[in-house]
Chain A
């Protein structure tokens, strides 16, 4: 069995001969490009979700809405502007992206189950988008696992950000919708963070190909 380091390949373990003959290492640039495309899609979906929610349910009130600081991922220290982002190392950027992605596995499941019974006229559209988000999230996580394997141990560290909101969004319609809205806004922010970090990584890895930026 070949070591993963010497022959980075996305194929499952296979006979050596087959690996040598068929396996062709996918360059990091290409992997990052694919990953950033998926994160872009995720961000787009979450943006559409918030817009769809707002079209029929205006925010209850800015003051009474939970603050973004209350997002379960807000504890994670992330760069907040361009200078900071450009100074973070690639491994740290990858680690941040992976941590955020991992943190949304459970909440997405909660959102998915809640969307089916959501007291909202567009609940079917919302539900399908959330399912799509889950799929993209899963595949992106797999891809980032492989990418981080090439970047060193610091890239593979994941910060643990548990979701403590429980499986139930509330009892009454207003509470449910509020919570749903709040979670979607948190998701939109975090998906944008993931997208931005990966795109910075992609551009940095493609120094010789500025068109990828």
Chain B
């Protein structure tokens, strides 16, 4: 009996000890689950997970009950398995979008239970699709630059054909050794051509998607692509093309250069410049003021010798007396050689201006000296000198060589006679023009070394004596001669074109040929 009581006490003590031990190893009612989260992958189903609290050391069972916004009844989770442990999977039948779910998770064990309520306002808040699949990239090496052709497919469980779901994608690409991603918003397409790539580099790309403005999915698998380096062939091809296209261009330029005159004629036709009669542009260009002045002022009237002398009468000293013969008088005055050189004549001769010039000047200056001069030189009627047209060829060389003895002026010229109608006789170099009344006394065949231009009008030739042509008074010098007709200085210029001043006359000397032939010059101005 005493042993039985001892055994019972011992059993109780052991039981107490054991039970005490059990309490120390936390057997209790479970704690309520924590952290509730859900996810919908395609807007048709969704799953929720909870994190269990302490289970109290005892096997704990978790159960989920939910109510929907419109449903009064409480339902239990239809599927605890498909989504893993501590989860609840709501299939299509049990999923309502835009409806509020009130979830209650109950943890139960032997000692008790605990529950927690979670509210899902809208399943849409938990929509997060899977990443896109079948992401491929192809390097397109076509000209002008290579690019990446990236393609993918929508996540398999998302139904995009009915319009219930709208997927939008995002792509990112970076170089293998770079840290910066380049991100592109795609929209709803499932391909993209990425151009910002360079040859010889390795690139990696990823794609993700979102559903109906929900959360973004995870990034897809990374795909790699390497851009091949430039093909040499292509380079050479373009170089070839470039060179060959240059050839016609260079040929064109060469031809243009060859025919640049023609081109110039075509493009820039010469504009005819103004022409002033008789004015020589080259003369102006040469820049000699003397020439310019001569050209400008004397142009119309002082072209080269010939033209000028056209206007100028050929002054002839005519006398029927020996006294008058200039040869004697002048010779006596030691003036044997008198040159009257026209203005435009470039003879390069030394003009010996001696007393004669003074005399000549005095002649014209004074009217009074008319008679005087006349008396000196003339004892005949006043002389009306016809207008002669001496055409001294321009530029003709006149070599005047003073003769040793006779002080001849050898003027070799080749004058042209315009009017040969009155030529009576040609003897050697002297052309005699007569009219009926006049009978030359004889023409000395003495050569007139000076083939002076023959006057047009010899109608007044009265007598020719040793190369001196005697003239009669005539009407040739009508109103044209504004000069003193009866003056010896009737060496008028019929056409008052000579603008010569008296100063000019000073510049000229009169050199009388020994024979008395006078070659007139612009010694006496016509006013």
A, B: real partners: yes
Report the minimum CB–CB distance from A111 to chain B (whole Å).
19
| A204 to B119 alpha-carbon distance, docked (Å) | 34
Contact call B162/A203, Cβ cutoff below 8 A:
yes
- Of all chain A residues, the one with the shortest Cβ separation from B94 is A81
Which among A68, A192, A195, A204 is the interface contact of B121 at CB below 8 angstroms?
A68
Number of A-B residue pairs with CB-CB distance less than 8 Å in the complex they form: 66
Interface status of B223 (Cβ within 8 A of chain A) = no
Q: Could you say which of B96-104, B438-446, B452-460 contacts chain A?
A: B96-104
Interface status of B69 (Cβ within 8 A of chain A) = yes
* Interface size, B (range): 20 to 34
Contact call B162/A86, Cβ cutoff below 8 A:
yes
Which among B100, B164, B166 is the interface contact of A69 at CB below 8 angstroms?
B100
Interface status of A132 (Cβ within 8 A of chain B) = no
Interface status of B171 (Cβ within 8 A of chain A) = no
- Of all chain A residues, the one with the shortest Cβ separation from B97 is A80
| A81 to B166 alpha-carbon distance, docked (Å) | 15
Interface residues contributed by chain A, number (CB under 8 Å): 31
Report the minimum CB–CB distance from A184 to chain B (whole Å).
12
| A193 to B97 alpha-carbon distance, docked (Å) | 9
- When distances are taken between beta carbons in the complex, the residues of chain B under 8 Å from A204 are 163
- When distances are taken between beta carbons in the complex, the residues of chain B under 8 Å from A193 are 98
Contact call A199/B92, Cβ cutoff below 8 A:
no
Chain B binding surface SS class: loop
Which among B121, B124, B164, B166 is the interface contact of A82 at CB below 8 angstroms?
B164
Given contact pairs A68-B122, A81-B92, A189 touches B98 in the complex (Cβ within 8 A): yes
- When distances are taken between beta carbons in the complex, the residues of chain B under 8 Å from A63 are 119
Contact call B162/A189, Cβ cutoff below 8 A:
no
Contact call A82/B159, Cβ cutoff below 8 A:
yes
- When distances are taken between beta carbons in the complex, the residues of chain A under 8 Å from B95 are 81
- When distances are taken between beta carbons in the complex, the residues of chain A under 8 Å from B122 are 68, 189
Which residues between 3 and 45 of chain B lie within 8 Å of chain A, taking CB atoms?
43-44
Contact call A82/B162, Cβ cutoff below 8 A:
yes
Interface status of A40 (Cβ within 8 A of chain B) = yes
| A152 to B98 alpha-carbon distance, docked (Å) | 28
- When distances are taken between beta carbons in the complex, the residues of chain A under 8 Å from B160 are 213
Contact call A81/B212, Cβ cutoff below 8 A:
no
- Of all chain B residues, the one with the shortest Cβ separation from A85 is B164
| A43 to B127 alpha-carbon distance, docked (Å) | 15
Contact call A44/B213, Cβ cutoff below 8 A:
yes
Beta-carbon contacts of A169-213 to B below 8 Å, as 1s and 0s? 000000000000000010001001101100111111000001001
Contact call A199/B166, Cβ cutoff below 8 A:
yes
| A25 to B236 alpha-carbon distance, docked (Å) | 55
Given contact pairs A43-B213, A44-B213, A81 touches B44 in the complex (Cβ within 8 A): yes
Given contact pairs A68-B121, A199-B163, A202-B163, A80 touches B99 in the complex (Cβ within 8 A): yes
- Extra contacts, 7 of them, besides A69-B100, A213-B160 (Cβ < 8 A), are A44-B213, A78-B98, A81-B95, A192-B98, A199-B166, A203-B162, A204-B163
List 27 A–B pairs whose Cβ atoms lie within 8 Å, in order of A's numbering: A40-B166, A44-B213, A47-B213, A63-B119, A67-B69, A68-B69, A69-B100, A80-B96, A80-B97, A81-B92, A81-B95, A81-B96, A81-B97, A82-B43, A82-B159, A82-B164, A85-B164, A86-B164, A189-B98, A189-B124, A192-B98, A195-B212, A199-B163, A200-B164, A202-B163, A203-B162, A204-B163
